Structure 1
Amino acid sequence: MEKEFKITFEAISSYDALDATEKKLFDAAKKIRENAYAAYSNFLVGCAVLLENGEIITGSNQENAAYPSGLCAERTTIFWTSANFPNVKIKKLFVIGAPKDAISSTPIPPCGACRQSILEYESKQKDEIEIYFASLDGEIYKTKSIRDLLPFSFDSSYL
C-alpha cells in the first residue's frame, strides 16, 4: 500500500518580503553565524529564535575534534533558551548556514537531530514553531511547524 505525504512550505521571494520582525531574526542569525566555532568543517551556522515575549535569542554551531561532541546552532539556541526561559514559548526560528568564506549560499534546513529537538519543544509548549531557513543572500523557505520537515516524527506519545 502506498501513501503520499504532503510537505508544506513557503518560498519567500527575498529579504525585502520579510516583515520587520522577520528581518531582525534573519539579521541576527546571519550575524551570530560569524561567532560559530567551526574549526573542522569551516561551515558556519547561525540561529535566532523569537520568543512570545518579543525577546530574540541567538546561537551558533560549536564543533569539537571529537565530532559527536559538537552541537548545531539550532540546538545550542533552543537548549539555552529553554534553560533560561523555561516557560516562554518559541514562536519563530531562523537558521542560516554556509561555508566560512561564502558570499552566497543555498538555504540549509535543520539537520535530523535538530528537527527532533525542535519537535520536542513544539510538543512541550503545545504550539507550533515557524521555521525559516535561508541563504546568506536572502533566499528563504518557511514552514509553519517542524512537523512539515519531519513527517514521521517520534514524540512522547510513543512512550
Structure 2
Amino acid sequence: MDIWETLYEKAKKEYYPTEVTPFIYAHHVVSALESENGEIYTGFCIESCSGVMDLCAERTAALNMYMNSGQTVIKRIITFRSEAPEGLGGMPCGACRELLLQFSPKNKDTEIMVDYQKRETITLEELVPNWWGWSRYENQ
C-alpha cells in the first residue's frame, strides 16, 4: 500500500454525509494529510447557514494536525467527496490554500492529489505561484 492509498483510506472513513441539525451539514467532503513527521490527520467539511462557520475538509485536517501535535508542515494531502479525485477534483479552495501557506513556507512543496488513479499531483506553489505573503517570511 503506498502513502496515497493510506491517505485515501483514512479520509474515506470520514465520509458519511450527515445533517447535524437543520442548519449544519457535515462529512460530505473529506481530507487526509501527511504531516512532516509522517503522521496522518483527517478532516471533513462542515457547512452551516451562516457562512462564517464553514470549514473545508483541508482546513479541519490541518487544524487537527496543529491542535494535536503543534505541527504546521504538510507533505501530502488528498481531498474528495464520495470518490477519489479524478482530473482536477481535489483542488483546495482559496481559503484552504491561504491557510496552508500561512502555516509554513515549507507548505509551498505540499503535494496535492489531482488524479488518484494516475497518482498525479500538483504542488501548492504551482497553484499559488505569486503568493502575497512571501515577503513576510523573508522579513523574519
Say whether the fold is shared (TM-score over 0.5). yes
1:65 and 2:43 aligned = no
- How far apart in 2 are the matches of 1:58 and 1:118? 15
When residues 42 and 52 of structure 1 are mapped into structure 2, their CA distance, relative to the original with a 3 A threshold, is: closer
TM-score by structure 2 length? 0.74
Q: Which residue of 2 aligns with 1:129?
A: 110
Q: What per-residue deviation string (whole Å, max 9, x for no partner) do you get for residues 31-71 of structure 1?
A: 32326668777882111011233221100001111122110
- How far apart in 2 are the matches of 1:40 and 1:140? 33
Tell me the CA shift for residue 153 of structure 1: 1.3
Q: Which residue of 1 aligns with 2:5?
A: 23
Q: Which residue of 2 aligns with 1:33?
A: 15
Which piece of structure 1 moves more, 25-34 or 51-60? 25-34
Q: Which residue of 1 aligns with 2:39?
A: 55
TM-score by structure 1 length? 0.66
The one of 112, 121, 132 aligned to 1:142: 121
Q: What per-residue deviation string (whole Å, max 9, x for no partner) do you get for residues 7-35 of structure 1?
A: xxxxxxxxxxxx61111012222332326
Sequence identity (%):
26
The one of 73, 82, 99 aligned to 1:117: 99
Contact 2:41-2:61 within 8 A present in 1 as well: yes
Q: Which residue of 2 aligns with 1:151?
A: 129
Q: Which residue of 2 aligns with 1:83?
A: 67
When the two structures are aligned, how many residues end up with a matched partner?
134
- How far apart in 2 are the matches of 1:87 and 1:110? 20
When residues 37 and 83 of structure 1 are mapped into structure 2, their CA distance, relative to the original with a 3 A threshold, is: farther
Which has the larger strand fraction?
A: 2
- How far apart in 1 are the matches of 2:60 and 2:18? 11
Q: RCO higher in 1 or 2 (8 Å CA, sep ≥ 6)?
A: 1
Give the AA of the match of 1:108.
Answer: G
Of the two, which has the highest radius of gyration?
Answer: 1
When residues 127 and 105 of structure 1 are mapped into structure 2, their CA distance, relative to the original with a 3 A threshold, is: closer
Structure 1 unpaired stretches of 5+: 1-18
Contact 1:48-1:56 within 8 A present in 2 as well: yes
- How far apart in 1 are the matches of 2:3 and 2:49? 36
- How far apart in 1 are the matches of 2:62 and 2:18? 16
